Structure 1
Amino acid sequence: MPTPRETILAALHARLSALAAKVLRGDVLPERVPADGLLILRDGEPGEPEVTLSPPAYHYEHRAEIEAVVQGDDRDELFDNLCASVGAALAADRTLGGLCDWVEAEAPRPVDLAVEGAASLKAAVIPVVLHYSTDDPLG
């Protein structure tokens, strides 16, 4: 049975997979970026939880990351549309079906990356903060 953390990350991956861009989880950047863009979900860090007692509960602000990558002549517009679609997907259900207390993305910091012999890439990491509680930090 998956842990709450894995269940939440899988739900986030499923929500992102409904977008037009190709979505991977924990993979390396492929040789080719699809025309609609690419999102790679990284599990990130759960951080140190706040703990309440009686009954014990561990309250996390887990920082996952979404790498957003586009390529092509109109990469600025593609990138903007890709980031907006991620924001809309998260805003549509801020609790991921009740698995989280709240999900919120932070602003990306885009960079242009030169690719020899091809159109440059525009990429950024979009931090996503997942607020959730569990009764066991390992469970």
Structure 2
Amino acid sequence: MTSKRETILDALTARIAAALPGAEVKRNAAKAERIGPGGLVIVRDGDPGEPEVTLSPVSYLYHHRIAVEVAAYSSATLSREAVLDGMLAAIGAAIASDRTLGGLSDWIEAEAPLTADVETLGAQPGRTAELTVLAVYATPDPLT
């Protein structure tokens, strides 16, 4: 049986992949050495934090902060800022389209991204964004 935490992380990764069909979307990958032409997204496990615990029945309520890294290069017609902004907008729309991930979570929302340039010797400069997706969910056991 897959834990609720893993199920939510997999569902979020699939939702982002569907929103960005040209991008490479991975889970917990090492820092990227190469950004593909459609961009790159890495979904990291993040931090579930300390749960709020209720009794009778026992329930653990998590506010899980999931880290998402997004990277892009410019295209023939768009600047790297515009490409990255389009990717972030698509992720935001995918999250807003179903704030419960099909009933898996009580609520999910994305926080504002932190952007930066990425430069590699001999390659065109890219642009990255790091954002957090907050997923609120309850489970009867911290390990399930």
TM-score range, shorter chain: over 0.9
How far has the Cα of 1:72 moved from its partner? 3.0
> What TM-score results when the alignment is normalised by the length of structure 2?
0.92
Aligned counterpart for 1:24 among listed residues 17, 23, 26 = 26
> What TM-score results when the alignment is normalised by the length of structure 1?
0.95
2:101 counterpart SS class: coil
Between Structure 1 and Structure 2, the one with more strand by share is: 1
Q: Which residue of structure 2 lines up, in the alignment, with residue 121 of structure 1?
A: 126
Structure 1 gap ranges (5+):
none
How does 1:80-99 map onto structure 2 within 5 Å?
80-99=85-104
Could you tell me how far apart the structure 2 residues matched to 1:22 and 1:93 are? 22
Q: Which residue of structure 1 lines up, in the alignment, with residue 46 of structure 2?
A: 44
How far has the Cα of 1:29 moved from its partner? 3.4
Runs of 4+ in 1 over 3 A off after TM superposition: none
Q: CA RMSD in A?
A: 1.1
How many percent identity over aligned positions?
50
CA contact (8 A) 1:104 1:128 kept: yes
Q: Which residue of structure 2 lines up, in the alignment, with residue 13 of structure 1?
A: 13
Q: Which residue of structure 2 lines up, in the alignment, with residue 4 of structure 1?
A: 4
Could you tell me how far apart the structure 2 residues matched to 1:34 and 1:103 are? 28
Q: Which residue of structure 2 lines up, in the alignment, with residue 61 of structure 1?
A: 63
1:55 counterpart SS class: coil
Structure 2 gap ranges (5+):
none
Q: Which residue of structure 1 lines up, in the alignment, with residue 82 of structure 2?
A: 77
1:4-48 Cα deviation digits (max 9, x unpaired):
111111111111111222101111234321222111000101000
How does 1:123-138 map onto structure 2 within 5 Å?
123-138=128-143
CA contact (8 A) 1:36 1:78 kept: no
1:22-81 Cα deviation digits (max 9, x unpaired):
101111234321222111000101000001111110000000011000123620110100
